Structure 1
Amino acid sequence: MTFKESLTTLPQYILPHHPLSRLMRQLTHSNNKTWKNLFIKQIASHYGVNMDEAIDSDINAYRSFNQFFTRELKPGVRAIANEKGDIASPADGTVSQAGDITEGNIIQAKGKSYTATDLLGGDEERAAPFKNGKFTTIYLSPKDYHRLHMPLNGTLQEMIHVPGRLFSVNAATANSVPRLFARNERVVAIFDTEIGPMALVLVGAIFVASIETVWHGEVTPPTVKDIRSWQYIRKNAPKLKRGEEMGRFNMGSTIIVLYGNDVMKWEDGFVAGKEVQLGEKMGHTLI
């Protein structure tokens, strides 16, 4: 952790994370044409958003900034890895970390880690299948597409909403705040796949107004004090195919993907710092 990272991070400990995020939600959902067009233009210009990829490239077509931020892409703009055994990236973004889960410990940054048990809501039985498995953390910046898609075919088993703080999830904060991803509010979706359990963890952050899934709609807000969970009976459980949309961030954040032991392997070069696109092959199954 550098001195600059400390200066960036320390004020976040005292900020009112949730009130600020509620305010941002109001602003990003505003239908005021002047406000939302100005906001869209500034973000698109500053971050280099490629509007040619969007189904609608005209900013006037979006009723609110949030509708722009969660814009749909044109069909075919992202090729989904579809060979047998391919594991597709769930999002556009940058790989923050990728590697092994060692005795339940997941690397956050150099010298910092957290446990799969804490990440998944404190239930050791829920985390057990991932004890010596694989993980990746993908950070979505404001320029990225903010819908999340399935890496593999899967049947939903459980969804968990874990309340928490809303620290920023950028690199500086990841290098500075201990157990960052196990402290922030998050939504966990556990799927049964051809290679066993797969956990998709949608991590909230400051100014992330809400997290949605396609089967439930908006999960957060509301922000609650206690962990909530939903069980899905197999015959009625949502079944999603590789590449199919599973959720979205209303404002940007991070997705973490967990797999079990000896069931998959990351692609060579799939390492911290790599920029990825939705659907890109990031690994392959071993069974």
Structure 2
Amino acid sequence: MSSSEKLISQAFIQAQKILPQHKLSRLVGKIAASEQPLLRTAVIYAFKQKYGIDLSIAEAEEISRYPSFNAFFTRALKAGTRPIDPEETHVVSPADGAISQLGTISAGQIFQAKGQSFSVEQLIADPQLAQPFEDGKFITVYLSPKDYHRVHMPFSGCLTETLYVPGELYSVNQVTAENIPNLFARNERMVCLFDTDLGRMAVVLVGAMIVAGIETVATGKVKPTGHIELQQHALQLEKGDELGRFYLGSTAIVLFEKNKVEWSAQLTANSEVQVGRQIGQTI
């Protein structure tokens, strides 16, 4: 990285520390939820053009069919667009996007980026619930603005707990991953915990700057409270079922216990993935 690039990156980091992250994100959320026809159409069209959104694979191909930007952003895809790998021993991607990192949780630490890690206990925000994942496996999937923004089950399981964890709202990208310590364990997030045939599994939906909301099938859209909220559930979800969605993009982190899965050998940081495609194999 050149000296000018380093300066730009540092300025970007400092700006996020100064900006009112939550107020800005909630303001964007109000605009995204607006059903005012001119505003809605203008925002959707501009976003579609900027990021090259392919609506030919969406259930609704015409912009006019979306009552708000939120509806457009969390759009459903046509049936069969994301077939789910049927092999019972295969773990599949929870989202469309790119792998940020993947590997083993070593000494309780999850690798974030060069020089940066965070603990599984910090991520889950409950020592007892985090304990099963010590020395287990993790995979972090980043959803860019152009991606499909529903999160699906990587493996069948029964949802037993959700924890809403308040936090900051830093942008999630390579620059912040390399420069913000404990990034994913600092940002606002929803932790979803499951009982599976492989033991415990977690899917963590991590918020980010201007992410105007996180929603799960068990809790509905999250209402920030400023404190950790633990809810109990008994909801069976099959591999490929929708688990939740982001109102603007961010990151999904999947955790398994030790000696339960191996990630596919061809996957590395920056590998592109799609919902339903194999990313791992049970042991």
Identity of aligned residues (%): 47
Aligned equivalents of 1:136 and 1:142: distance in 2? 20
Which piece of structure 1 moves more, 138-147 or 5-14? 5-14
Alignment correspondent of 1:165:
168
Name segments (4+ residues, structure 1) moved above 4 Å.
none
Alignment correspondent of 1:49:
53
1:96-107 matches, cutoff 5 A: 96-107=100-111
1:115-264 matches, cutoff 5 A: 115-121=119-125, 123-219=126-222, 221=223, 223-232=224-233, 237-264=234-261
Q: How far 1:6 moved relative to its partner?
A: 1.5
Q: How far 1:270 moved relative to its partner?
A: 1.4
Alignment correspondent of 1:109:
113
Q: Does the residue aligned with 1:229 lie in a helix, a strand or coil?
A: strand
Q: How far 1:224 moved relative to its partner?
A: 2.0
Q: How far 1:3 moved relative to its partner?
A: 3.4
Q: Does the residue aligned with 1:238 lie in a helix, a strand or coil?
A: strand
Q: Does the residue aligned with 1:265 lie in a helix, a strand or coil?
A: strand
Q: How far 1:225 moved relative to its partner?
A: 2.4
Aligned equivalents of 1:14 and 1:253: distance in 2? 21
Post-superposition CA distance 1:228-280 (Å, at most 9, x none): 10123xxxx11000000010001111011111101000001211000111111
Alignment correspondent of 1:69:
73
Aligned equivalents of 1:83 and 1:206: distance in 2? 37
- Unaligned 5+ residue runs, structure 1? none
Report the aligned-residue RMSD: 1.0
Post-superposition CA distance 1:82-125 (Å, at most 9, x none): 1120101000001000111001100110010000000001x221
Aligned equivalents of 1:66 and 1:214: distance in 2? 16
Q: Does the residue aligned with 1:126 lie in a helix, a strand or coil?
A: helix
- Unaligned 5+ residue runs, structure 2? none
TM-score by length of 1: 0.95
Q: Does the residue aligned with 1:128 lie in a helix, a strand or coil?
A: helix
Post-superposition CA distance 1:175-229 (Å, at most 9, x none): 111100010000000001111111000001111111111122112x3x2222110
Aligned equivalents of 2:118 and 2:196: distance in 1? 25
Tell me the number of residue pairs that the alignment of Structure 1 and Structure 2 aligns.
Answer: 279
Aligned equivalents of 1:107 and 1:251: distance in 2? 24
Q: Does the residue aligned with 2:178 lie in a helix, a strand or coil?
A: helix
Alignment correspondent of 1:276:
273
